[in-house]
Amino acid sequence: MPDDYRRTLIRQISQHAHSEVVGQLPEGNWITRAPTLRRKAILLAKVQDEAGHGLYLYSAAETLGASREEMLDQLLSGKAKYASIFNYATLSWADVGAIGWLVDGAAIVNQISLCRTSYGPYARAMVRICKEESFHQRQGYEIMMTLARGSKEQRAMAQDALNRWWWPTLMMFGPHDAESYHSQQSMHWKIKRQSNDELRQKFVNQTVPQADFLGLAIPDPELEWNEERGHYHFGEIDWEEFSRVIAGKGPMSRDRLEARRRAHEEGGWVREAALAYAEKQGTRAAA
Ligand code: FAQ
């Protein structure tokens, strides 16, 4: 395996794993405040799924020779990137709906494409992840539907969440193709099967009718159907905001890393106990 191919995969897969792990935080914040027991149980299951996705992905990266400690170190020291979207705050219950609908929706569009990525362990992890993300996306849309059909205040809450999450969601697909310095090589190696702009367009095309069905307005005055292109035209993303967020200066960047560091420290005794237990079992098996 060429070294650069291996390095590129470790970079992408570990960033993807970090995103799943950090991605638990914005919604995890709402578990204690979910409006009903049913919503709480669903949200708990979803957040647990994200932890599981992190595990599949760290394991896939380990098959390439990266160690778990090394990858976690890079995340906790702030060296490694993770998806920009998780550096935004979840201000209301509607944000949990918007994350499921939009963020998981965008993640699926990207990950369906990655089910055909050229590295088998990554592609196989994606198949299972996509099935789970599909459940996540539906639960988010169902929350939005309930709010959109609810009281005036609930509709306003749903619209406010869409207003705040729309643009950061479009940023999840990364820079424009012309600015995406890894794309050409990754497409050549078939790590990426579709470009950042192609996937972003696909997401917009499938999401606009969903917003229409909810009776919510996408916060983009330029948004309109282009008959000739067979695609929605949409406005320009604020790339300065994107650069700021991926440089670690997003609205919640500091809190996210602090929460991960604290969880790592507080979980030290679990790792120690698991190692001691494995050692004891090993000694018994040898005896
Ligand atoms: N955020 O040259 P490109 C989820 C970086 S999972 C942060 O285009 P590439 C599930 C990029 O790393 C979401 N950084 O790079 C969930 C590179 O920096 P580097 C995660 C970004 O790799 C839902 C530089 O910019 N999904 O949400 C972003 O060819 C709900 C130049 O960019 C994945 O990771 C960004 N948005 O394409 C969980 C999918 N965009 O590494 C909880 C797998 C770009 O040189 C709740 N990854 N950058 O320092 C990919 O498909 C690709 O890596 C891209 C970027 C498309 C993200």
Would you say 130 and 111 are in contact if contact means Cβ atoms under 8 Å apart?
Answer: yes
Cα(144) to ligand 1 centroid in Å equals: 26
Q: Cβ(74) to ligand 1 under 6 A?
A: no
pLDDT tops 90 at residue 206? yes
Digit-coded pLDDT (tens) for 130-146? 999 999 999 999 999 99
Q: What is the DSSP string of 37-81?
A: HHHHHHHHHHHHHHHHHHHHHHHHHHTTT--HHHHHHHHHTT-S-
- Mean pLDDT, to the nearest integer, of 235-250? 97
CB of 110 sitting under 6 A from ligand 1: yes
Look at residue 287 in the predicted model and tell me its pLDDT.
78
Taking only the tens place, the pLDDT of each residue in 155-177 is 999 999 999 999 999 999 999 99
Summarised one tens digit per residue, pLDDT across range 249-283 is 999 999 999 999 999 999 999 999 999 999 999 99
Cα torsion 88, 90, 95, 100: sign: positive
pLDDT tens sequence across 184-193: 999 999 999 9
Closest CA to 54 of 86, 97, 32: 86
In short, whether 47's Cβ falls inside 6 Å of ligand 1 is no
230: how many CB neighbours lie within 10 A of its CB? Answer: 8
Please give the pLDDT value at position 56. 96
The pLDDT-based confidence of 237 (bands split at 50, 70, 90) is: very high
| pTM to 2 decimal places | 0.96
Give the model confidence (pLDDT) of 84-133 as tens digits.
999 999 999 999 999 999 999 999 999 999 999 999 999 999 999 999 99
- 254, 244 Cβ separation under 8 angstroms: no
Our mutation pick for probing the ligand 1 site, out of 9, 182, 202, 242, counting the most ligand atoms within 8 A of Cβ, is 182
Is 10 a residue whose pLDDT tops 90?
yes
